[in-house]
Amino acid sequence: MTVIFIIQIVAFFLCLSVHEAAHAWAAFRLGDPSAKAEGRMTLNPLAHIDIYGTVIVPLVLAMSHAPIFGWAKPVMINPRNFKNPNRDSFLTALAGPISNFVFAILLSIIARFFSYNSTFYAVLYLLIQINVTLGVFNLLPIPPLDGSKIWYLILPEESAYTLEKYGPLILIAVLIFSSTGNNNFLFSTISIISDYLIGIIS
């Protein structure tokens, strides 16, 4: 059990690092060097750790035998360095989930060379699951999740800022509603989509 626990945490750290490094890389490619200057354009988990989201929450969930989830330290960007702030901010945000999907596809290709009953295949499949779940969850259009940046492209700027301001409260409300009683709509939906995508790529 201890070995499985350690593998889960390490796998989660790795997937989060890919996600955050992709944000930093996209921002840099689009003209903003802020994240790179802060050392965030790296796969080193230590550069992305948030004490609560990357350590405490995943540890508690893992010890509770619940699906591991959490978040990393946000990658800070300066939209003023972008040629098109709204568009490039959206593309930078989108890079995170896309990186998880790409990573999952690469892992699925590697997994085909190993037996379904092997330990290495089990580890690869775990990585695929975490990547797909992170990708799907972060595409939800609720601030501060990556998918929320779409609102800056389709809403008046003032409305988008208002949504960004109250987004965390909305997200907390959605998470609470989705995890009480039989109302597991959000997590069930993420699980269904994740299982479907995993079935396609694995």
Tens of pLDDT, residues 30-82: 999 999 999 999 999 999 998 888 888 777 777 776 666 678 888 999 999 99
- The closest alpha carbon to 91, from 74, 100, 106, 79, belongs to 79
Task: Give the pTM.
Answer: 0.87
3-state secondary structure of 183: strand
Q: Does 1 score more than 60 pLDDT? A: no
Helices of type H across the chain: 2-29, 34-37, 57-63, 85-111, 119-138, 151-154, 157-178, 185-201
Tens of pLDDT, residues 144-197: 899 999 999 999 989 999 999 998 888 888 777 766 656 667 677 777 887 788
Q: Does 202 score more than 70 pLDDT? A: no
- The closest alpha carbon to 67, from 141, 137, 148, belongs to 137
Domain spans, the chain: 2-201
- Which pLDDT score, from 0 to 100, does residue 84 have? 95
Tens of pLDDT, residues 81-122: 999 999 999 999 999 999 999 999 999 999 888 888 898 988
- Which pLDDT score, from 0 to 100, does residue 184 have? 67
